[in-house]
Each structure stands twice: as C-alpha cells, then as structure tokens.
Chains A and B, each alone.
Chain A
Amino acid sequence: MTYAEWNEALAERFFPAGSANAPTYLAVSEDVLSNIGAPTAAEDLSRVVRERYLTPGGSLSGKRIREDLRWRPGGSPIPPYLGLLGLCVLAASQMASDAEAGIRSSNYYFHVNRLLGLDAISGAPSGFEELGSLWKDLDRWLRESGGDRGESTVSTHRTQVYIGYPMSQAIFPVRDRRRLPDFFVSAGLEPGQKVSSAELLTHLRRWAGPGSGLRELTMRRIADPDWEEMVSGIVLAEFSSWDGALRDASGRRRAEIALNVFVSAGGRRCEVYYVPKQPEGFPDEVTAGDLHLVSAGGGWYQPLPEHLVPDALARGVSLVSADGARSFSFEPRTIIPLHQSFNAGLGGWISVRRIHLHDPLRIVVHHERLAVIQEYLDRAGRDGTPRSAEGLPPGWLLLVDALVTSALAGPARGDPDLERILPRLATTMSFDGGLALESDCYLRGEEPVIHLGLEEPGVFYLDGESQELAAGGLSLPLSEIKPGLGHHRIGLGEMARRFVVSGGDAGPVPEGAGSLSFVMERHGSKVQPRALDPLPVQGAPSRGNVWVTGASIRGSEVDDPLGFALPLLLRRGHETVLVGHRPGELMESEEPPRPSWLDRIGPHAGSQFYEATCPFPAAFALYGSGVDCRVEALETPEGWDSLAPSANPKTTSGNLEADLAWARAIFGASNASVIPRSAAGHWNSLVELAFDILVASGG
C-alpha cells in the first residue's frame, strides 16, 4: 500500500463519516493494522511513513510536516498526516504492552525509533516536537466535523507533552473501552448523569480490579497517578456519550442474563430462572442459537427454558443473536449476590454485579466458598444463614439474612467473586428508601436513610454543617435530622448530591388524578366494560362512555343515574312530626335503632341523627311538644321559592281530617322557636293558614 492508501484506510477505519458524536480514537495497534492490510502491515506502514517523512539525515522533515498542516485548501476531505500520527500511536501501543513501562519518554522513543528505522536508544527523533501541531490540527478537524467523524479524544500529558498525544489514543485499547459500559452500570451511573472526572476516577479505580474484564496493563494505568488525568478524561468522554448499552468483546450490543430467584419457606425452597435483559433497541423477539427470546415487557425477556441452559450457574450462558448484532451472557460465578427486585414483571430476587451497603441480601453461593464468604460477612456485616434450598442445583446454597454494613475491602481484594459482595465504592454514599415525589425530591418526614461507607476517615457534610467520620459504615436517617423544606446539598469526600424536601404542593385534586379509569360503554340501561382493568384516559368520556375512577363517575348519562331523593336527617331523642308546605302533609317519624356498624366509627357517630324518608316535600320538623317544642326547617329557605308553584299553601288536600291534623300540629307549635331564623317568615305563613283552617272548621 502507498502512504496515501494507508492514510485513507486509517481515516476510514478510525474517523468514518456518520460517527454520531461517539468518542473517537486513532487507536492504531498491530492487531488493527493487520485487519486493514497484510499480516506485515505494521512494517508496511513504517516503510511508507519513513519514505514520506524521514530525511536522509534521519530527522522528521519539518518542511513536510508544515506542508501537511496546509492541507485544507487542497480539497482533500481528510488530513494527510494520519499515517504518521498512526505510526506514533502504534509505538505507544507497543509501549503499553510492556508490563513494566511507566510513562517515561525513553520507553516511548525506544519503540518509535524502532518503527522509524532509527537507533532505538537515540532518544526523541529530531523534529518529533513538530508533531504537536499535527495533533492539534487533528483535534481541530474532528471538532470542525461537528461530531460527524466522532468526538475528539486528542489530549496530552501535563509534563510529557509530545508523547502524551499518541498515548492518549492508545491508553485504552478498544477491547477495554468496550468494558467501560459494564463499569458505568456497576457504579450505578445513569446515561446523562452529571458526574465529575474526579468522581468518575474514584469509581473506576474501585471497579478496575480482577473480574472487571480489563487487561492487567489497563488496570495498572488506571491505578497509576501519572496517567490519571488522561484516563479520567477518556472515561469521562466515553461516559458522556454512553447510551446505557453494554458491549461484548466483539463490539456487539450485549444484554446481561440475570439470575432471578423466588424464595419461599424462609429460604428452604426457591425457584430459579435465567432472565435476559431487554435493553432499549433490542427487538421484542430474538432468535439466539436454539432459543427464541420473547419480550416479557418492562425491559426483560421471558426466562430461558431451564432444560436449554443446564448447569448455567457453573458454566455460564453465552448467546449470540442470529443476525450477529446482539449477544446475551450470564457469567459463571461461585458467589452471586441477589437484590430484591421491585420490577413488576420480575419480582423475587435478582442477581446484581455489586451490592449497596445495607441492602437486604440473598446470596447464591457454591458450597466450597461458603466458609470464605461467611468469614468475610462476619467482619463486614452479618454472615447470614445458609440454606440447602430445594430448587438450587446440587452443590449450591442460598445464604439468607446476610447484610453488608461496612466497606471492608481488604479480604475481598483479588477475589473477583467475593468482590461482588463488596460495596461498589471505597467511599460510598447511597440513598435508601424515602417517599420520593420525583428523583431526589422527598416528602417532609419521609426523607431517605443515607448509608455512608468509608475505607478511610472522611468528611461528611449536610448544607453548611460538616462532620469528620471514622472509617467504616454509618447510616443516617435523614428524617431524624429534619433537614427542613427546600433544597439541600449533602456530601461525603468528593461525592456530592442534592435533594429537595417537599411538604406536598399538590392542590386538592392532584395532577394525574383520575388518569386511570374503568371504562364502560353504555348500551341502554346496560353497561359493558371495555376492559377488566382501569385504562389510561384523558379529557372527558365521549358520549355513551362512563369512566369510574375511585368514587368519581364521569359520563353525561350518569349525572343523576338513579334520581335519588336525599334523605332527611332528623334528630334522635324526640317525638318528631314532619309537616309539608301544603295542608294535609303530615307524618309522624319513627326513630330507628342506631345501626351497630357505626360503633366502628365511634360511640357518637349516628347518635344525634337518623335518616327518614317522607312521601311529601317536608318543610319543617316539629321536635317535642308544648313549651319544649322546637321547629326546624328541613330545607334552605332559598329552596322554597322553587317549590312554591307546586306547593301553594292555600291549596287544601281535600281531606278535611288530614288538613285539620296538619293545622293542629302547626298551630300547636306556633310559639316554638324556629331554626333557622330566616325560615320564620315561611313558618308564620303556615301558622296563619293553620289558624284559618282551624277557624273554618270551628275548631
């Protein structure tokens, strides 16, 4: 291949158009080159770079480099120096393969000199310092592309400036970068979450141990303070573009298969399922090997048939979809911590990569590891009770009632399985429980418990108050601290979090109330349910529909579905006569016994009043007789105006005896006090009429 062909091939491989803002690297390594060219591609690239850039005196040609910087007016869509920079990155990748190498320039120049055919120990090639301008131009070109060719990750080291550029492209080989989503998930990070590079590095160093899947060398780089600025910058760039998906080593989108355990009889019985996650973008049905996965909703597929995944606990499960675009995996472990699942479709207990302090915990453990795990738990919290649970494969146990209350790392370090029951971070601060109205907004008095875990002494603060804490674990119920309404800031070391306390701001009818309703269709006098369950509804029901939400019934046809007449409430403990507006309308009311169910409300409920129905529109209740008689209006005087036409007091019933009884009852109470006073006028008109009737009858 010519230099121009190599340059183009590298651009196509590392900076293809349409990269959609993903972090991009000129990650040249011998593996990658051999995929592009022949098995001797590294030598071939070295040759063409030497031919183009090396002067007969063994220097990098400053003239050629300056010409390369003026490439834009030439109309080429890609810069011409990618081959040269690629070779520099190749040297960095070879240096990164050296287990003992630090970020010493001599280590780097050894490799770059070798590739350029120069004396390996001659130090920096002459003209190498000119390459900084090319790296800056590459960075500029990527930024000018607006993300179409990817987000630039070009950066450099604070002291080793010249070799820092190629190192920034090689420090995280592609295979290890594909593990970063696992780290993000393990650290409990969410796509789009605001997190500082320092915080990210703290999380990363805690995670990047045995079992993380990273290469040994990458783990060393992450732990090395010399590299931390570059590492944290790269990880932050990767995190900023992370969409929540995991990747396998081949770059396929990967979904985890979780162990889902339903425990009963105090841990003596359990049902075990292997349930693949269904991340966003995964289809509802996928064929993978002999299996056909069908979505169960809620971000999960239906569990794998047990007989198709024999011995999965020990051997793991690995599936690739028929189209090769996706994979599913369950990694075999001897210790599998389980966390209570609140997921609707799932329930039970679900395997987690790492635990949180104080989380209720069940652990599936191989019997050979029981002593180890209990010894650890005994020091880090509560060692729990092992059960030979029916339903688990032979050799496996279920550990119930275990708890981790402190971030005790030492004994678990280097044991990838035991590390799973190590809390995620050396320093942890997690919110547990509370009644949240939205993310990090809690009802007053229902603030969460804060679990703090520290491997070393640290400073905890809430708003303006700070407190030094010793190493270990600590739980702080925020509701006991009573942080007060409004915004708060809480922190532990470099970690900080904000939360809000609300006293409940919803009005009498909260937003969203009634958004689920039983929906009925009315057909004449019948109603027919649209579904057995409440359905999401908006606005008002259309004609012919009835919505039932709680005790609220909507639908024009049910405004007055039964035409109720309100009952009268009458006072207990008196002889009571009801009189209407018209002569003859009179009824003696009989007081029923107080219903016994009212005892559940309280001794006085229903002791004052009882309900009565009356065949005529009752106007007044006459309680008692003689001087103790009291007259109470049963309707509001305003209501009488509307009654007047049909209840003309001048009209007699035609039944003289009934009219006389009505008149005597009213006349007998004519001197009684009338409640309310506003009804006195109407009462007096009835008294006058009663008097007339009595006089007319000669009574």
Chain B
Amino acid sequence: MTSAIESFGFHQLAGWLCGDAGRSRISPGDRLLWWLSEKGTGSWAEFRKAYAWVTANDGDAVKAWIAARELQDLGHVEFAWEHGLSWSAAPPVLTLLPSSGGLAYLTGARTRSLVEALNENEAFDFYPATVSQGPQGPHGVFLLFGSPHEAEELARSLGIEYTFSIAEVLVGVLPQLADMMEQGEPSPFRIGFDKERFEPETLFWREATEPEGDLAPGLYRMRTWGRTEYRFLSATRKIVSCQPESAFYESLRYARRQILRYEAETKMLVVPAAARLPSLQARAATLSSGLLPKPVRTGGQLELRYENVSPRVAEAILLSLSQAG
C-alpha cells in the first residue's frame, strides 16, 4: 500500500521488544503490557509490584487499580476482582475500527513474538502506527489497511483472531442492568463503619447518619479495613453487595435520572467520571476507537468522552444501563 501515514514509532516499539533498541519512548504501560503478555496469568499482588516497578512509585493501590481498569477497557487483560484477585492476558485480536478508513486496532496480549512477526511481515500491505494513551498507558498499536480482507488475512497468518468492529459484537452480549443487579448477594451493612450514600442528583457521596430503617433506597459505601465495600438498598429494603459501576446506574434508574449523553453528530459518548461504565460497556465504548476516553472538565464535573461510538453501540450501552430516553 502506498500510504503516506507515518509509522509513529511502531518500529521503535518492536525494536525495544526484540532487544535492538532502548526504551526512551517506551511508556510504563508498554513495559507492563509486555510483562502481562509474556507471563499470561498472575495475581493482583504481582500486578501491583510490577506496576510499582514500571512507574517507579511505591505501589499506590489506587493508581494500580486505575491502570488495571484501563488495560481491561482496552481489551488487553481481564481482572477477576472478586475471585481471588487474579488476572489473565486476553488473546490477541485484530479488530477493524468502523468509520476509520481502514484502521485496525491490535488488542489483547502483545508478546514479543507477535510484535516481531508483525514488524517483519512483508506479505501483507499495511502500515503500523503506535499512539500514546497518556504518559502511563501502553501505546495503542493501529494498523492501516487498504482492504478489510487484508486485515483478516494478516490476522490469520499471525495465528490471532480477527473481527470487524469488536464494539458492535460486544454490544450483542452486554449484560443488562437488572441482570447485573441480580448478581448481588444479600449482605447487611457492616456494623460500626460510617456509611455514605451515592446521591444520583449530584453524583456525589453524602454521609448517611440516619438509622438503618430510615435510609433511603440507593447505593451506599462503607470504608472498612482499608477497602471500600458497597451495598445496594433496594426499594423492597433488601440489602445486597454490589459492584459500584452497575449500582450507580441502578441508583440513577431509581431517581429516573439520565446522565449518559450521546452526540450523534460527532459519534461521541459522554460519561460523567463519577459514574464509570461497567466493564463490558466501557470496553465496547473504548474499542470503538481503540483509544481511552478523553477526560474533559466541564462545569466543575469531569467527563469521559468516548470517541467514534456508532449509534448502534451507543444505543445498546444506554439501553443496557436504563439510560435510554
């Protein structure tokens, strides 16, 4: 393909992975993703230590958690937060991005052997590019093709999976809010710990000092033994454990409040940072472009802007979280 697109440092990334170049432009996320990919599986403690190593900090748990979520949203790795806190790399997948003019995103594990094979491949006509995902994140690897068939055949030759628009596929299997909330186990409030309630009107947390019988239905959190536990108090006074991402939206459903905004003209899905999307919804939105959402502060509120989200993907995400008008 006779393209004028620049290679944005992909060859440098490949050179570093193969030991032929230094890591002057390599991000902590590149190093972390390489390790995750070569190791395949591991524990949360191992991840935190690796994160502390590549970022040269003393292992801040919150920052490590954010990095983990971003890697998960980009489809590189899965974290089982509740089941022994382990992780496994995801299989590599080449997915063609819609409305991109032939751009494919390489997600999942990114081992040295895969990047090397890509770098040395001369049988197919594509241009690779790396794109920064912020100072800490892994560079995104994008391949520009002149034909979607080329992308599929390249993936086959590399022994990895291929799909056209993984976002469109993912929204076909998105869990619905009601089903997500059904996963909660009955679990009383922790005695002796202060409670805070998520206020759907303001998206802030407010201290809840009322006796338990007077508490309003909604999402509560308690800070216990160095961690935060979440409970959802239903309208029928059932208290269940929950993941905050889905419970935010259940609270918003109770309050009949819609906070997700889709701008069809720019194909942008706007999500308040205070109400992060659940995992698969966030992944569908992120993999619409292969880019992490752009954080933008507007009117005192931080928003996450997901780009290139097709109307169908946006509608499915909104519907799954009871946010459709």
- Chain A contact residues, CB within 8 Å of chain B: 260, 262, 271, 273, 275, 296-297, 302-303, 305, 340, 342-344, 346-348, 360, 433-437, 443-446, 485, 502-518, 520, 526-529, 531-536, 546, 548-553, 558, 561-562, 564, 566-567, 569, 572, 594-598, 600-602, 604-611, 635-636
Contacts A604-B6, A611-B102 aside, 13 further interface pairs with beta carbons under 8 A come to A344-B44, A344-B85, A437-B39, A443-B35, A510-B111, A518-B78, A532-B180, A546-B173, A548-B280, A550-B107, A601-B142, A611-B100, A635-B149
**Chain B residues positioned under 8 Å from A566 (CB to CB):** 148-149, 164
**Chain A residues positioned under 8 Å from B145 (CB to CB):** 569
Looking at B90-98, B195-203, B208-216, B296-304, the stretch in contact with chain A turns out to be B90-98
A514 close to B101 (CB less than 8 A): no
B308 close to A597 (CB less than 8 A): yes
B273 CB to nearest chain A CB (Å): 19
Question: A171 CA to B102 CA in the complex, in Å?
Answer: 78
A433 close to B179 (CB less than 8 A): no
A520 close to B4 (CB less than 8 A): no
Q: Select from chain A the residue with minimum beta-carbon distance to B51.
A: A342
**Chain B residues positioned under 8 Å from A346 (CB to CB):** 226
Q: Is B204 an interface residue (CB 8 A)?
A: no
CB-defined interface of B37-74 with A at 8 Å, one 1/0 digit per residue? Answer: 11111011110111011100011010000000000000
**Chain B residues positioned under 8 Å from A606 (CB to CB):** 100-103
Q: Select from chain B the residue with minimum beta-carbon distance to A360.
A: B58
Say which size band chain B's interface belongs to: 35 or more
Q: Select from chain A the residue with minimum beta-carbon distance to B191.
A: A305
A609 close to B102 (CB less than 8 A): yes
In this complex, the member of A434, A507, A605, A607 whose beta carbon has the largest number of chain B beta carbons within 10 angstroms is A605
If over half of B's interface residues share one DSSP class (helix, strand or loop), that class is named, otherwise mixed; here it is: mixed
B109 close to A527 (CB less than 8 A): no
Q: Is B113 an interface residue (CB 8 A)?
A: yes
B44 close to A550 (CB less than 8 A): no
Q: Select from chain A the residue with minimum beta-carbon distance to B114.
A: A508
Question: A507 CA to B179 CA in the complex, in Å?
Answer: 37
Question: A434 CA to B35 CA in the complex, in Å?
Answer: 10
A550 close to B93 (CB less than 8 A): yes
Q: Select from chain B the residue with minimum beta-carbon distance to A485.
A: B19
Within 8 A of A (CB), among B1-16: 3-6, 8, 16
B46 CB to nearest chain A CB (Å): 8
If over half of A's interface residues share one DSSP class (helix, strand or loop), that class is named, otherwise mixed; here it is: loop
**Chain B residues positioned under 8 Å from A435 (CB to CB):** 31, 34-35, 50, 53-54
Question: A529 CA to B182 CA in the complex, in Å?
Answer: 9
Question: A602 CA to B103 CA in the complex, in Å?
Answer: 12
Question: A262 CA to B60 CA in the complex, in Å?
Answer: 11
Q: Is B189 an interface residue (CB 8 A)?
A: no
Q: Select from chain B the residue with minimum beta-carbon distance to A261.
A: B226
Q: Is B276 an interface residue (CB 8 A)?
A: no
A679 CB to nearest chain B CB (Å): 13
A532 close to B172 (CB less than 8 A): no
Q: Select from chain A the residue with minimum beta-carbon distance to B144.
A: A605
B82 CB to nearest chain A CB (Å): 5
**Chain B residues positioned under 8 Å from A517 (CB to CB):** 78
Contact A602 B112, CB 8 Å, known A260-B226, A548-B170, A552-B91: no
**Chain A residues positioned under 8 Å from B180 (CB to CB):** 529, 532
Question: A341 CA to B148 CA in the complex, in Å?
Answer: 48
